[in-house]
Amino acid sequence: MKKFTLSRRDLLRTAPLATAGLLLGGCDPRAEAPAFGELLRLGRSMTFHGQRLILQHRPLVRELRPDQISDYFQPNGTSLPEGDVYRQWMENDFSNWRLQVDGLVNRPLSLSLPQLKRMPARTQITQHNCDEGWSAVGQWTGVPLAHVLDLAGLRNDARYIIFHCADNIRGTWYYESIDLFDAYHPQTILAYGMNGGPLPVPNGAPLRLRVELQIGYKNAKYLKRIEAASSLAHVGGGEGGYWEDKGFQWYAGL
Ligand SMILES: Nc1nc2c(c(=O)[nH]1)N[C@H]1C(S)=C(S)[C@@H](COP(=O)(O)O)O[C@H]1N2
Ligand SMILES: [Mo]
């Protein structure tokens, strides 16, 4: 999986060029460039990339009706992060909480909750599917991750977005990561609202990821830092997430 994901973004970036090159044909000097030849070979050989090109049309996950929202959305995993840092955020209604956005970005950010709430918002009602076999429907409100990433300005070498969480489970920090394709999906949001109210503590207050293309554990709660990176090797056990480090799949698409 990983060796393919590494070049997804490269392909997405160069695909329009490739099309132009094909139309221009042999008379265009750009067609001689080695990178261009490599790209054509890639396109011929990798089904996975082909699939991703089709997925550029960005199908949305099904959105449900308000009357389908579950009466109870059970928390899973951490329902109250331990430690003084989180307790002090909670006691201050998260006014002293900040979201750091850093790594391979041109403009590192430190965002307060009111700042995030002033950004363009999206509300969606979706079904959450946990790998443990249960599902629940919730309504989520938040800022598209794409908006925040564009504010920070991703550098060209960024390939993954890593989510660092505020809960430490028996000595291990919860974290997650996704590729840029999922990061820029329109339904991928940083949610501060749930079912019409603020995001409750058991469900990840003050901010959680909703990545509707992916299974439960990818939806990181208690966000404190978002890092753009070229690799996943430097965080945790190097597999891209708390559960991935224990052997679960990194790409857990639904
Ligand atoms: N920080 C953090 N994020 C997390 C978890 C967690 O324990 N800690 N559990 C994951 C799992 S396995 C699921 S199914 C969902 C559960 O979200 P919920 O608590 O709102 O039901 O959050 C995911 N995100
Ligand atoms: Mo889960």
- Is the pLDDT reported for residue 7 higher than 80? no
The least confident of 9-23, 90-104, 170-184 is 9-23
DSSP alpha helix (H) spans, 25-179: 34-45, 47-55, 84-91, 113-117, 145-152
pLDDT-based confidence at residue 10 (cuts at 50, 70, 90):
very low
> Which among 178, 249, 180 is positioned nearest to 219, based on CA atoms?
178
Is it true that the peptide bond before 206 is cis, omega within 30 degrees of 0?
A: yes
Residue nearest to atom 9 of ligand 1 (CA): 77
Question: pLDDT tens for residues 110-156?
Answer: 999 999 999 999 999 999 999 999 999 999 999 999 999 999 999 99
In degrees, rounded to 5, the angle at the alpha carbon of residue 84 between the alpha carbons of residues 83 and 86 is 75
The bridge status of strand 172-179 relative to strand 160-169 is antiparallel
- Is the pLDDT reported for residue 15 higher than 50? no
Tell me what pLDDT residue 133 has: 94
Tell me what pLDDT residue 120 has: 98
Q: Does any ligand 1 atom lie closer than 6 A to the CB of residue 222? A: yes
Question: pLDDT tens for residues 29-87?
Answer: 444 444 555 554 454 444 445 544 555 567 899 999 999 999 999 999 999 999 999 99
Residue 209 Cα to ligand 1 midpoint, Å, equals 10
The pocket of ion ligand 2, defined by CB under 5 A, consists of: 76, 130, 216-217
Q: What is the pTM of this model?
A: 0.81
Q: Does any ligand 1 atom lie closer than 6 A to the CB of residue 195? A: no
